[in-house]
Amino acid sequence: MRADRLVSLVLLLRQRGRLTAATLARELEVSTRTVLRDIEALSAAGVPVYSERGRHGGFALLPGFRTELTGLHHDEALALLIAGSRRGVQVFGLGSALASAVLKVVDALPETSRATAAGAAQRLLVDPETDLLSRRLAAEEVPDAVLAEVRRAVLAGHKLRIHYAAVGEPPTWRTVDPIGLVTARGLGYLLATRSGADRTYRLSRVSAAEELAEPAERAERVDLDRAWRERSTRFRTGGDQVTVLLRLHPARREDLVGTALAVSAEGADPDGWLRMEVAFQDARHAEWALWQLATNAEALAPQWLRDSLRERAAAIATRYGTPP
């Protein structure tokens, strides 16, 4: 909304002083032309914003100006409530709301505390986009319009129509009763029921969504953490999953656990390697996971997995056995 953007613009100028139009555009995620129009609107409304030309020019507020426009709107309050997870805010499409809410919170602080709080915030980094090995964390893009529609239906308790593409199937429209939203390892999921049966939908596979006026058929209260655990258990124990007995270098344990469905047994061999019994979603998942670990893992059983990995390694060796 434009009103929220104007408030954020004023708060940015109050807290950071003189800023260029390009900097304001980047912070507000709009075009430079939009910023210039907003500056004109603020001036017309009596906000004492002025411009300075030159190399160090930009826009600023007259010293001493203060506004009381710091009230949080719904999405900003919601963003702060889940701000303990930076990835959760991004997955649920509340990143811009969080940025706006933080500006308002900082502006509400006493002037003597404002600089201290801003400095402290620069010393803390939560969930960066890559780890120490420059591996990007899992993340998927979901259109803001889709996220907003899904979020509204979940919070309002209304039925929801989604255009959803299940794995290996063409997208179809389906009407569901939304229960809640979950973020896990940077991925977003919609927990819902359809015709009374539990369903879990990956948000990145929803191409369009429409909140309906009809109330959703769902319990008044929900234990979302428990619901997620139960669905995770059903997922791990269903389908074409396979169990693999393997040996693993301990330095790669986190990599394996991060992709496996479950670890049902684990111990240490005399040489320090781990002996583990691990469940994978299907045969293709098991082969892919073991191949990523290269010589740091050895599949002991089943035999078909050992054969498949050996054949793949032989094909690679043949490909690179002669000069190009």
| pLDDT, tens digit (0-9, with 9 covering 90-100), for 145-169 | 888 899 889 888 999 999 999 877 8
Please provide residue 64's backbone torsions phi and psi, each rounded to the nearest 5 degrees.
90, -10
pLDDT of residue 266: 93
Tokens of 91: 């997955």
**Strand partners for 174:** 162
pLDDT of residue 282: 84
pLDDT of residue 213: 95
Separation of alpha carbons 191 and 117, rounded Å: 37
Tokens of 222: 């929900």
Residue 236 binned pLDDT confidence (cut-offs 50, 70, 90): low
Looking at the predicted structure, is the pLDDT value of residue 251 above 90? yes
According to the per-residue pLDDT averaged within each range, which of 79-83, 252-256, 305-309 is highest? 305-309
The structure's pTM equals 0.49
State in Å, rounded, how far the first CA of the chain is from the last one.
Answer: 59
Separation of alpha carbons 7 and 15, rounded Å: 12
Looking at the predicted structure, is the pLDDT value of residue 134 above 70? no
Mean pLDDT of 172-199: 88
The amino acid that residue 298 corresponds to is E
The amino acid that residue 62 corresponds to is L
The number of beta carbons lying within 10 Å of the beta carbon of residue 162 is 25
Q: In this predicted model, which residue has the larger pLDDT, 322 or 278?
A: 278
Query: 237-256 burial by CB neighbour count: b if 16+ within 10 A, else e?
Result: eeeebbebebebbeeeeebb
Closest CA to 260 of 275, 239, 240, 282: 282
pLDDT of residue 217: 92
pLDDT of residue 268: 93
pLDDT of residue 290: 95
Residue 122 binned pLDDT confidence (cut-offs 50, 70, 90): low
The amino acid that residue 77 corresponds to is A
Looking at the predicted structure, is the pLDDT value of residue 210 above 90? yes
pLDDT of residue 4: 72
Count CA atoms within 13 Å of residue 68 on its CB side: 0
pLDDT of residue 46: 75
Please provide residue 207's backbone torsions phi and psi, each rounded to the nearest 5 degrees.
-90, -20
Separation of alpha carbons 263 and 233, rounded Å: 13
pLDDT of residue 64: 67
Residue 87 binned pLDDT confidence (cut-offs 50, 70, 90): low
Q: In this predicted model, which residue has the larger pLDDT, 115 or 61?
A: 61
Residue 184 binned pLDDT confidence (cut-offs 50, 70, 90): confident
pLDDT of residue 162: 95
Separation of alpha carbons 242 and 308, rounded Å: 14
Contact 232, 170 (CB under 8 A): no
Separation of alpha carbons 199 and 182, rounded Å: 13
